[in-house]
Amino acid sequence: MLEDIREGQDHLTTWLRQKIKKALLFHCEIDDGFRRQCLTNRANNASARSSKYIDGSATFMKTKARMSLIRDATLLETFKYTHTLKKNKGRFVDQCSQDHYAQIRSIGIIPVGGCSPNGGNSPAGASGVGGGNDVDDCLDL
């Protein structure tokens, strides 16, 4: 809807009062942060040939694929990456995310492609389940 306002298409926004519509249009044209977010959303909305996903922000798996690592990113790494602040990657966005991450780590679940307790890479089942595995050191987070 805001994109329609920004591009001057009026057929979907007839229910908005003219004063509000003008204020939104002004905001769209002036605010650089808003413009950058529009471009990001537009890039995320673009569908790949084989993907049915065409709306909203990037999916969890798309973010996982974008992470530049030598190896495939684990789900735990992707979760931490998507649930921490951009400026401070050591701080989670909310308490619920932090609790969930801590719960997974305390159980000692090492994701597929995880590391063994001595720091070397091993198959997922080889490291086993148990406390004492420092997942962050193992995953270089």
DSSP class of residue 125 equals G
Number of domains in the chain: 2
Strands (E), 2-132: none
Containing 21, the helix (H) or strand (E) segment is helix 18-30
73 and 123 fall within a common domain: yes
CA atoms of 112 and 130, how far apart (whole Å)? 15
Is 51 domain-assigned? no
0.75 cut: is pTM over it? Answer: no
83 and 36 fall within a common domain: no
Residue 122 has pLDDT above 70, yes or no: no
**Parent domain of 105:** 60-139
72 and 126 fall within a common domain: yes
Residue 126 has pLDDT above 50, yes or no: no
Question: Over the stretch 8-22, which tens digit does the pLDDT of each residue have?
Answer: 555 555 666 778 877
Question: Over the stretch 72-113, which tens digit does the pLDDT of each residue have?
Answer: 777 788 888 888 888 888 888 889 989 988 888 888 665 444
33 and 69 fall within a common domain: no
39 and 80 fall within a common domain: no
